[in-house]
Every structure is written in structure tokens, then in C-alpha cells.
Amino acid sequence: MASEGELGRKWDRCLADSAVKLGAGFGLGIVFSVIFFKRRTWPIAFGSGMGLGMAYSNCQHDFRSPYLLHGKFVKVSISTSYC
């Protein structure tokens, strides 16, 4: 809840997420490598890389989230606006 703990929490999430993703990527890589790519290493690396990248991206997004501006479309009908 404290603002100074926010970053810590973010980092925790980030790491957890990255670990998961990495693991998942790695696992998928392994799976794919095993299943589809005849035990080649490149799907593991690919998978883990993908996982890591996804994790990094998530992390970054999480850290950026306070500064992100969310626009909103406001529909304004011209016909109804009078000067």
C-alpha cells in the first residue's frame, strides 16, 4: 500500500513473471524441441528467449504503467454543437 513499497512489489511481480515466463518458454521450447524440432536446442532457446522477452516487456509495462496516458474517444456530433 505504501508508495515506496510499490516498486518492490513491481519488481517482485516482474521477477516472478519473468521466472514463470522463462520457465514456460523454456518448457515449451523443450516441448517443441522435443516434439516438433527433433530435440534441437534452438526451440529451447527460442522458447526461453520468447519467455524472457515477454517477461521483460511485461515488466517494463508494469513499471511504465503510472506514466501511460490513456486516451479516450469522445464522440462529438457536429450537428448538435452551436457556437
User: Residues interacting with another protein, by CB under 8 A?
Assistant: 1-4, 6-7, 56, 59-60, 63-64, 66-67
- Spatial neighbors of 1 by CB under 8 A, at least 6 apart, are none
Nine-digit cell at 10?
513491481
CB of 20: closest distance to another protein in angstroms? 17
Which residue, 70, 62, 81, is CA-closest to 18?
A: 62
**Distance in angstroms (rounded) separating the CA atoms of residues 73 and 78:** 15
CB of 66: closest distance to another protein in angstroms? 6
CB of 53: closest distance to another protein in angstroms? 12
Q: Which is nearer to another protein, 41 or 57 (CB)?
A: 57
Q: Which is nearer to another protein, 32 or 56 (CB)?
A: 56
3-state class (DSSP) for residue 64: helix
Q: Which is nearer to another protein, 8 or 42 (CB)?
A: 8
